[in-house]
Amino acid sequence: MGHVTFQRARTDEQRTERRRQILDAAAAMLTEMPVAELSLTALSRRVRLAKANVLRYFDSREAVLLELLEAQMAECITELESAPTPDGSARERGDRLAALFADSLAARPMLCDLVASQATVLERNISVETAIRHKRTIRESLSALVQLVRRHLPELGAEDAGALVQTVMLTAVAAWPASRPPQALLSAYAADPSLAAMCIDFADAVRRSGEVTAAGLLARRQ
């Protein structure tokens, strides 16, 4: 497929539309491949632009994926915020909140893959301006998650609610790649079932981490 003739976006509306097209293309590609396999070359081919023209709108491949991460995170938070506030004891509410986090993340493999790559890959090839914008956006998302925790667990203060959010997200970062072993390990587990217990279930790991952290934080406030 050849490149189409490039026409530079002249207005803010045109620039916004061009950026949206690039983000949509990246999102579509991540339903077909992991973050590690999505290259700027492949992305530019998908949107039918030269790489240099893609880079008119984003610093790099990583900048595209960070903005996609932000959008995916916003969608996840919107869903979490729509969940009804549970009743019951603090322990019961903490367990249900942990399950809510785990299920919502597990249902979004694209978000999990992006979050797992955020610190080690995606934040390594961006401009200072992109870094500031990205971190401010993520800060707002994390603040929204803290408020969500406090709505479900008003017994926790802002600091403890933040600790719960941090633990859940860090567990997700570590558990996602560990829960997706390469074919050689899958074959090893099949050949020796006693090894299969070493394969991590992502949703279960995130849920258990959230449950234990919430219970511990609640216990410390008694």
Q: What is the pLDDT of residues 44-78, one digit of tens each?
A: 999 999 999 999 999 999 999 999 999 999 999 99
In angstroms, the CA 153 to CA 20 distance is: 37
The reply to whether 188 and 100 lie within a common domain is: yes
Question: Which CATH number does the domain housing residue 190 bear?
Answer: 1.10.357.10
State pTM to two decimals. Answer: 0.88
> Do 75 and 48 belong to one domain?
no
Quick one: what percent of the chain has pLDDT higher than 70? 95
- Cα 195 from Cα 6, distance rounded (Å): 54
pLDDT at 80: 95
70 with 50, same domain?
A: no
Do both 113 and 204 map to the same domain? yes
Angle at 24 between CA 23 and CA 25, to 5 degrees: 90
Question: Which domain range does residue 18 map to?
Answer: 1-57
Domain at 39, CATH number: 1.10.10
Q: Are residues 95 and 131 located together in one domain of the fold? A: yes
Q: Specify the higher pLDDT residue, 10 or 86.
A: 86
- What is the CA angle 129-131-134, rounded to 5? 110
- For the chain, the straight-line distance linking the first and the last C-alpha, in angstroms and rounded, comes to 65
Domain count, the chain: 2
